[in-house]
Amino acid sequence: MFSRIEKYLKERVDDIVFIHLKDDKSLQVKDSILDSTVPLPIPLKEVVSRVKEEEQDNEISILKIIQGMVYIIGIDSEFKYNETYKKFLTTFDKDIFKFVLEQAIKLTETGHKVEALICFKACCYIKRNDLDSLYNYARCSEELAKEWSGKSVKDFEDEAVEVFENLVEIHPDFPLSYYHLGFHYANRKFYKKAEVTWDKCLELGVDENKEMEILNKLSEISYKIQYEEGYNLVLSGRPQEGLEKLLPLEEKYPEWWNLQFFIGLSYRYIMDFEEALKYFLKAHRIKPSQTDILNEIGLCNISLGRTMEAIKYFKRALNIKNEDPEILCNLGIAYIEDGNIELANKYVSKSLEINPDDEITNAWMKKIKMMSSQ
């Protein structure tokens, strides 16, 4: 947490200059003393304004030093003097945390979201695991993800998700973390996780508008939840149960190639190859260049003894994805079935070059060598 977005914040260090006390000077607030070895951070604009105004008073306001300390703590969580600054801040004012949090909220309201994020992040450092700090930090990260572009969008979204996930562990009775987290899961197509998360939110209770928003969203993605449950059952070795989830969706979503694919995969796992092939061909008509579909059609044809059909589809897949070791190996197996050991050796050898540690491919290579020596 924090590290993934600090690279976007550290350029703001340029907004700060550091001053050093003279060797015989120190700065003391109550029981906290800063000597000349500790650099004091000051907002650059404060220094510039003093130079422009040619003020005779060279003393920097303690409040400006505090502002600089908060800013540095919020920018760089690994800065050498963070603990020293934290002790100084909390000694200066026992309510400093509350003051910084209020300022951060005001910055958010006025559209200064990067500055707000820095202050929320500083609050997270000053008071570990605080609900308000973490929640507002996550919300601010969400907002910045909407405004920025490129890789930063994913980084800020990932940051928000991680903080919300931490919040539901640290503060499990706070419903708004579940509310926001559910939308992140849904956007990432983790529909079952979204459902479970939103169910918890509804159990804890939110206002009427948020409750209706969640219920509408759950209704909207209900078929996706059922599909996700189905394909997870298939992938976990329970194809018959997977079919019970997937087949009812077929009539309503006949052009959804993923659905056709996983129904086909279910039938192949229960060794009903004709039925599996029927669904893989449906998926292929919808998504003709999808190599996983082409590969499965080839495997079904091998199982049905239609070797040349299998070779045809494996070759189509290789034309699209010519360095795929699984497809290369499967084509080699098809040539073994066809009795063409030379071509079998060619494709299985190439598969091994790409993935030399694959046990299945190595087993087929041993078989090829045995057949060649006979």
- pLDDT one-digit tens code per residue, 261-319: 999 999 999 999 999 999 999 999 999 999 999 999 999 999 999 999 999 999 999 99
Q: What is the DSSP secondary structure assignment for residue 60, as one 8-state letter? A: P
- Average pLDDT rounded to a whole number, residues 345-355: 94
User: What pLDDT was estimated at residue 58?
Assistant: 45
Q: How confident is the model at residue 372 (pLDDT cuts 50, 70, 90)?
A: confident
Q: Which residue type does 54 have? A: E
Which DSSP category does 13 fall into? Answer: G
Quick one: average pLDDT of 39-59? Answer: 60
Q: Using CA atoms, how far apart are residues 36 and 20, in angstroms rounded to an integer?
A: 6
pLDDT band at 48 (very low <50, low <70, confident <90, very high): very low
The reported pLDDT for the residue numbered 60 is 60
pTM, whole model, 2 decimals?
Answer: 0.80
Is residue 29 pLDDT above 70, yes or no?
no
pLDDT number for residue 149: 78
Query: Which CATH number applies to 3-169?
Result: 1.25.40
Indicate the domain borders of the chain: 3-169, 289-374
Give the C-alpha distances (Å, rounded to integers) separating 247 from 227, 252, 254, 283, 291.
9, 10, 10, 14, 23
CB 180 within 8 A of CB 164: yes
**pLDDT for 54 beyond 60:** no
178: three-class secondary structure by DSSP: helix
Q: SS in 3 state form for 111-158? A: CCHHHHHHHHHHHHHHCCCCHHHHHHHHHHHHHHHHHCCCHHHHHHHH
Q: Are 119 and 67 in contact (CB under 8 A)?
A: no
% of the chain exceeding 70 in pLDDT = 94
Domain 289-374 has CATH 1.25.40.10: yes
| H or E element in which residue 28 lies | strand 27-29
Q: Which residue, among 235, 230, 234, 232, has the nearest Cα to 247 in the 3D structure? A: 230
Tell me the pLDDT of the chain averaged across its residues: 91
Which of the 8 DSSP states describes residue 287?
Answer: S
Check: CB of residue 60 under 8 Å from CB of residue 69. no
pLDDT band at 2; cut points 50, 70, 90: confident
Least confident span in 10-14, 53-57, 224-228, 249-253? 53-57
Same topology for domains 3-169 and 289-374, yes or no?
A: yes
